[in-house]
Chain A
């Protein structure tokens, strides 16, 4: 088990190197640091000195990958690639364009993101599985069919509609919760309620449909027929056998996103003014702060790979047949 995990972590290294190379190419070869300086300082009117100063302040004045003016190892370390990309591997994200420490900002902002994303995931999971079980129980009746049609309809509605509609109804019309904002501690509850509810409602359509397919696939298997034949009630069959066996496909989808919950949702956080990583990224996009976007891309991939490893481990926990060697 341990050996497997170590091997998986080692496998992650070439992938992260690849991610790093992609972002480096994207951010420094497609547009040179000069381009970025001109862009930030306002296109044509800017002087060469001002551009150089802008680059110096942010450490973009070095050569991209090889510094010919330095000797030995410094010819590689005194470059943009080493300063900006290699350091990501030790989670040294450097400074944003307005001089703040990105690593500190991230460590502060991931908790509000998690505070929304985690309850939304858990409640959503509970609601979706319950509804899907219900549809599976009433399979091939009018309840099932109308449930599926309703699911497709809910899937076809833009997530923005749920957010805007929810804000309009709950905050503007009924004055139940504040329209946006965030607070620390228990006061955060009233701010988190609406985004979580909307997150759950927005996911019901696709989630329920997906779990229903999984349950129906299990229901047609032989062991279900056996358990019915030995006289178990349909409810017992569903909860004791089908649900347990459906855990594997369900886990595949769920565990992989758990680490990504830290990143949060860009749109939800922006609409509700939650100071999480999602709104951090949106602000960075709007201010064209490339160091933050670069850091988030790297962080996102690390978390995704972590999710994949966790998925594998969780398999061994729910399915004793699977052994990781």
Chain B
């Protein structure tokens, strides 16, 4: 038995704090009908539900990738996700190879069987290594594995679906045939048909990856021969961290200052308004650039404070979230100030004040719950923008550490190969499509949340 020492990076700890907070929030919501009903509306929307399932897929990979440990005496820090995908991480080729390739992308001097030397494309160490004659067998082999994956996927999906249908039928005390009819006609409150279809697609996709990736590099390899699929998976965590932890840093400022400004008015309002006007008048990218530059100087002058490469990259990621938080709290703060101002004029607040209820209690009991929908809408709407911003910032050179796996870094390094003939396109496409799916799902989910929570839309 190998001994495993857990390693807690700063972002890991914060992620799990966030998970705990969300769990508490969910439990609290489920127990209160008035909080539950808008969420019900979110999940009743077909697109909202599908987007949620896709998001959950991303989140579970991100969470698996956030459990870090050292194995045995090995100094390398790996995550649970690295352990689960196993070979995907270690099957490293020499340099570029195209998706599903069996040969390297560039010619090299190789020795033939008869001893002569020639410039040719050498075989890959891992990609398609099980094939005797790759030119003839490759596509047949891929097709066979694809069909196998689809058949197994279909079976898994059927089993899962029937279990869920039976469970539903039992809960609603109906026969399973009647349940099927009801589901088919969409007579349940949740869009089960969409759930089943989305789950089916996700399962199929996963099985394709599981079946094909041990034998081929599905998305090719990059300059140092690392599997692009693995990099894209690893980048999920970075994207999620930036999208969520930024909010975690921003919320305390935005909520406390915004409500204080709107509730207390007077000089408190003036000071807070001055603060956020000043901060928001600096163009965001420039402020981020300035702050990250300063961090770089600090890090290069104090290398001893940051330990190994991974903790260093992690510190930079965390700092990036903080500075993004600093630049993005102002708009929410302004919204909350206006809303708090409006609410504090309402009779029940005046009554509470007249009864001598303490300010803190008025704020937490009466104002905070009434502005929570604004906070929630802002958080989900900001998420996708932050994921996209990461790519741009990495390109500008003020994003995450160059050693961190991120879509921005993937795009940035692949961009340099644009001029190559024939073009190395797979890293770009992989990064863009992984990012696109996450952002699209987040946008659709955010729309559903906004429609369900925004009182202005409900009225219409």
Contact = CB atoms under 8 A, between A and B. Distances in A.
B149 to A, nearest CB: 27
Interface of B: 274-275, 277-283, 285-287, 289-291, 293-294, 296-298, 300-301, 384, 388, 391-392, 395-398, 407, 411, 415, 418, 423, 428, 432, 435-436, 439-440, 443-444, 447, 460
Nearest to B287: A297
Given A19-B281, A158-B432, A270-B395, 12 more contacts: A18-B274, A27-B290, A30-B298, A31-B297, A39-B301, A156-B436, A158-B391, A160-B391, A300-B286, A301-B282, A304-B282, A304-B283
Given A152-B443, A282-B397, A297 B282 contact: yes
Contacts of A294: 290
Interface in A33-57: 35-36, 38-39, 43
Interface in A1-32: 14-15, 18-19, 22-23, 26-27, 30-31
Interface of A: 14-15, 18-19, 22-23, 26-27, 30-31, 35-36, 38-39, 43, 152-153, 155-161, 164, 167-168, 172, 220, 260, 263, 266-267, 270, 281-282, 285-286, 288, 290, 293-294, 296-297, 300-301, 304-305
Contact of B282 (A22, A27, A161, A172): A22
Given A14-B274, A152-B444, A288-B293, A31 B436 contact: no
B294 A30 contact: yes
A15 B436 contact: no
B291 A157 contact: no
A286 B398 CA distance: 9
Nearest to A15: B278
Given A18-B274, A152-B444, A288-B296, A281 B286 contact: yes
A285 B428 contact: no
B415 A267 contact: no
Given A293-B289, A293-B293, A164 B443 contact: no
A178 to B, nearest CB: 14
Report the 6 A-B pairs with minimum CB-CB distance, sorted nearest first.
A18-B278, A156-B440, A300-B283, A156-B439, A301-B281, A31-B297
B428 A164 contact: yes
Nearest to A14: B274
B298 A31 contact: yes
Contact of B291 (A26, A260, A300): A26
Question: Would you call the interface of chain A mostly helix, strand, loop, or mixed?
Answer: helix
Nearest to A303: B283
B388 A159 contact: yes
A282 B396 contact: yes
A158 B294 contact: no
B460 A220 contact: yes
Nearest to B284: A300
Contacts of A297: 282-283, 286-287, 290
A286 B281 contact: no
Contacts of A300: 282-283, 286
Contact of B392 (A168, A267, A304): A267
Contact of A152 (B285, B286, B440): B440
Nearest to A29: B294
A262 to B, nearest CB: 11
Nearest to B431: A158
